[in-house]
Amino acid sequence: MTNPNLPHYDLGYVGEPTAAVPKTCVFCEEELDGTDTAEWPIGTSDGPRQAHRQCMLRSTLGGIGHLIAHPYWCTEHNDPDAGLSYRHSAQLVEAYVHIIGVGADR
Ligand SMILES: [Zn+2]
Ligand SMILES: [Zn+2]
């Protein structure tokens, strides 16, 4: 029987975690409620961790501030998330990709 309190890993994971794996996103540290959880875990020095799929996207593309106004947010304010939390920035990055796409000129 599967323990519902343990995270479920699909591919490449064998064995039991040696310590309780936190059910928070590895990027934003907010709680994972299951609706936006990325399919594959991220390998960390603490073992596999799960993440929001939007936060994975943001970790790759940069924050919403970086995408919409890099010179202002990154260069002048050193804040690629435009004053937002990592999670909120990540959600806007997902919307940005849906609307604008992944810019080839960045
Ligand atoms: Zn997250
Ligand atoms: Zn930037």
Ligand in nearest proximity to the CA of 28: 1
Name the nearest CA neighbour of 57 among 28, 23, 24.
Answer: 28
* 58, 28 Cβ separation under 8 angstroms: no
How far is ligand 1, taken at its centre, from the CA of residue 50, in Å?
A: 9
Task: Compute, in angstroms, the gap from residue 81 CA to the centroid of ligand 2.
Answer: 9
Contact 61, 85 (CB under 8 A): no
Alpha carbon distance, N-terminus to C-terminus of the chain: 48
Per-residue pLDDT of 86-104, as tens digits, reads 999 999 999 999 999 886 5
User: What does the pLDDT average to over 68-78?
Assistant: 98
| 32 Cα: distance to centroid of ligand 1 (angstroms) | 8
- Which ligand does the CA of 78 lie closest to? 2
The packing angle between helices 86-99 and 53-61, to 10°, is 80
pLDDT of residue 54: 97
* CB neighbour class for 89 (10 Å; exposed up to 12, middle 13-18, buried from 19): buried
Domain ranges of the chain: 57-99
Q: What is the pLDDT of residues 49-66, one digit of tens each?
A: 999 999 999 999 999 999
